[in-house]
Structure 1
């Protein structure tokens, strides 16, 4: 039995286009994998630890091969706990809207907590950075008000571009995308975009 972790980053819930696409994905996934576990991690429902002074000190002690103080170890253990929840999954689904051309701050908070040396990546002077979250597929459901596929607009996309860079950095190589765009348009255009995304979500989930 495998575990699919859905990381949900929109606060709009039933009005969210990214969550709607994710729900379609989950329905298709459950139909194809009835014995698998599916967990939803609502980033708006649970607080994450602050990435502040003692945690930063603990991070740099790791990078410099030094031992933690007791206070640093306690702070770092909170980070490790969040990462272990993330890393416990075999497969991932991330749903996110575009906010100000980027990603919601709740999702960025999670990324900043889990993307740590010895957890999500390693570093050596000889080989550089190596992602440690490997051998796992991830599907990402993006929603954005405009359309960002043209040469004129793609340079403004700091949502999908950033997520793909980050996922690659920590080790993901099997990345599937579901895009709902535009969500700020005429009703028939929005429905067409949503329907296409739901179809794509079903298609990807069947073989995920």
Structure 2
């Protein structure tokens, strides 16, 4: 089993809860074949016209600019990492109601027709990653599981819809740590309980791999 962990928080674990979730998961899976893709450490230019110009230059046999080549290299590296993985774990926070821009760039890189999905002759969207499994480790300081707040969460909902919906991955586990900022008097127990759940998810993977 090849496990890819996409780390999407560059705050130290003493400050970032999703960073602590990442560390907890890694410690519990140290005997497995686990690779980390750290979106804050990778060279990941944002998606834009440079990429479309790069595609055009390739088709016309023209020379690529440095930025265009960086984009193509980064996109291919992200796609290769996903292609080589059986299970993909995303450790990410909710920032300003959505995912970090660097994680969104990773998703942009793999959100490609012919790679993550395709269209049928009648225009129906067909997922292409039904052979892969995903695990979501998410932290948010507020309580977004409440019905009146759920519609504001553009992080977990986006990842669920993209991975499980468009790509067709099976989301086999989710651990959500929330409310530790909204309820500071309960923060320690909230985080401890969440990290215990992360360890349990890792243990399940370890058992399955044996």
TM-score range normalised by the length of the shorter chain: 0.7 to 0.9
Aligned residue for 1:64? none
What is the 5 A alignment of 1:100-179? 100-126=96-122, 128-168=124-164, 169-179=166-176
Off by >6 Å, runs of 4+ in structure 1: none
Taking a change above 3 Å as real, the CA distance of residues 52 and 156 of structure 1, as seen in their structure-2 partners, is closer
What is the 5 A alignment of 1:6-17? 6-14=5-13, 15-17=15-17
- C-alpha distance in structure 2 between counterparts of 1:98 and 1:151, whole Å: 17
Scaled by the length of structure 2, the TM-score of the pair is: 0.82
Of structures 1 and 2, the one scoring higher in RCO (CA 8 A, sep 6+) is 1
Aligned pair 1:203/2:210, yes or no? no
Q: Which runs of 5+ in 2 are unaligned?
A: 206-210
- C-alpha distance in structure 1 between counterparts of 2:79 and 2:62, whole Å: 19
Question: Residue 87 of structure 1 contacts residue 133 of structure 1 at CA under 8 Å; is this kept in 2?
Answer: no
* 1:153 counterpart SS class: helix
- C-alpha distance in structure 2 between counterparts of 1:188 and 1:13, whole Å: 22
Aligned pair 1:69/2:66, yes or no? no
* 2:59 counterpart SS class: coil
- C-alpha distance in structure 1 between counterparts of 2:104 and 2:60, whole Å: 27
Q: CA deviation at 1:186?
A: 4.3
Q: Deviations over 1:28-52 (max 9, x none)?
A: 334xxx2x31111111111114423
Q: CA deviation at 1:72?
A: 8.9
Aligned pair 1:56/2:56, yes or no? no
Q: Which runs of 5+ in 1 are unaligned?
A: 62-66
Q: Considering only aligned residues, what root-mean-square deviation do their CA atoms show, in Å?
A: 2.4
Question: Residue 10 of structure 2 contacts residue 19 of structure 2 at CA under 8 Å; is this kept in 1?
Answer: no
Q: Deviations over 1:144-178 (max 9, x none)?
A: 11001112111111111111001021121234211
- C-alpha distance in structure 2 between counterparts of 1:115 and 1:180, whole Å: 27
How many residues align structurally?
A: 197
Aligned residue for 1:25? 25
* 1:39 counterpart SS class: strand
* 1:96 counterpart SS class: strand
